[in-house]
Structure 1
Amino acid sequence: MTISSILGQFDLCADKAEFPDLDNGYYYPVDARIRLFGDSTRWAMVAELLGYSPRGGNLIDVVHSFGNCLTHGEPGFSGFLDRVDNMTEIDPEGTEVYAGEVPVVVRGTALAVDAAAGTPLQDVFRRLAPANRGLLLADETELRSAIPSDLPELLRLDEWNQPEDFWDVKPSAHETFRMIAEVLDSGDPARYRPTLPANTHWSHWPAAGSL
């Protein structure tokens, strides 16, 4: 386990378009989270991008898992978790807008919606996210589906600075992911000392979801 090997894995996944990309044209971004895990010999990073996918017809938590101890699969995408149980009720015509006066049901929990009929679905989901992150993002079982259950958590990031384009700026060349690699290599969360402003809020990515 070295910083260079960690960053090398990140770069390889970015080259294959399997690294978290907030500017993805197929998802309207709603929320995001990164969690870091490690001990003296093992490391893992799980990144989640929650977004509304018109093609997928749901609000989807796209889970990416990285590490030297994955329990199955290769580094990169590890899960696509549909979150809304009643899409046919909130958008019966498939027009990507809210039908109105219908709760959004997530994992069996009905969430009241403060939105009028005709509101774009990405805006509906964005209004729900701040108060319902625990339902919308991965639970512990989902989160650890590809990493060891006994691996200690080191750090949780609810926001960070993300490059606009991984074709131009590799993870290994960006402050955020270099610091993440330092945390994973050392086991010391204090190594994460960002100087760049966070930009993971959906408002920073207006072109995402436009394909």
Structure 2
Amino acid sequence: MTFGQQFLDQIDASAQDFTFPFLDHGFYSAIDVRLHVYRDGKHWAVLIETVGFNPKARSVTDALTSYGVRAGSQLNRVENIEALMDADENYLGGVPIRVRGEDLAVDAPAGEYFAEVVRELVPEHRDLLLADEAELRALIPPDLPEILRLEAWHHPDLLVERPSREETFQLIAKVLDSGNPHDYRPTQAPNTHWSNWPESGNA
């Protein structure tokens, strides 16, 4: 079985198990995404990052969902969240958001929904919210080269689509088979920006 077919089979199985990234999840306010493709002659891996705010857990995490390698992980991002929110998940105002030890000032009023405040950190501070190389390599072998990185793509609505039928992932499968990142030439406009998923966080 080719690398590409292995990938397509794994993402469909992941969708059936409810572990595939679901950008319209009612318990998760989408903030940002990134996708990584790794390959050499013997091995492959795809890692999808989804940064989001979970009001029930009162946390902002970067969820790393991986295929072709060991299981992914959840990386907590906001270190002082209890000092930032009231009981209704609204920003208290006047307090910087601490991410990886850095205090990031935000120009947001008290009472703004906290997910919206974190979204305002993007794009200036998005690399602090997304995984760095050390965090990626905790899941990906150090000698497996990254051949493609996507900052946005067309993501499926899992209520009506199987991931393997989505153009984005068919093209990624093609890249995995060929090893040529130029085989990723999508015709569909990206839809991974949080504004395209209005039900996100509305449970």
TM-score normalized by structure 2?
Answer: 0.96
Following superposition of structure 1 onto structure 2, how do residues 120-199 of structure 1 map, counting pairs within 5 Å? 120-165=113-158, 167-199=159-191
Following superposition of structure 1 onto structure 2, how do residues 1-211 of structure 1 map, counting pairs within 5 Å? 2=2, 3-67=4-68, 70=69, 72-73=70-71, 78-91=72-85, 93-165=86-158, 167-211=159-203
C-alpha separation in 1, matches of 2:87 and 2:61: 16
Structure 2: stretches of 5+ with no match in the other structure? none
Alpha-carbon deviation of 1:168? 2.6
After the TM superposition, which segments of 4 or more aligned residues of structure 1 sit over 6 Å from their partners? none
Structure 1: stretches of 5+ with no match in the other structure? none
Which letter maps to 1:99?
L
Alpha-carbon deviation of 1:144? 2.1
TM-score normalized by structure 1?
Answer: 0.92
Which letter maps to 2:121?
L
C-alpha separation in 1, matches of 2:116 and 2:97: 13
Q: CA RMSD in A?
A: 1.2
C-alpha separation in 1, matches of 2:134 and 2:57: 23
Which letter maps to 1:26?
F
The percent identity for this pair of structures is: 46
| Per-residue CA distance 1:92-112 (angstroms, 9 max, x = gap) | x33201101100010110001
SS of the aligned residue for 1:33 comes to strand
C-alpha separation in 2, matches of 1:6 and 1:164: 18
C-alpha separation in 1, matches of 2:180 and 2:194: 29
| Per-residue CA distance 1:116-167 (angstroms, 9 max, x = gap) | 00010011001012111111101112112222111101011000001122x4
Alpha-carbon deviation of 1:175? 0.4
Alpha-carbon deviation of 1:198? 0.5
C-alpha separation in 2, matches of 1:52 and 1:157: 21
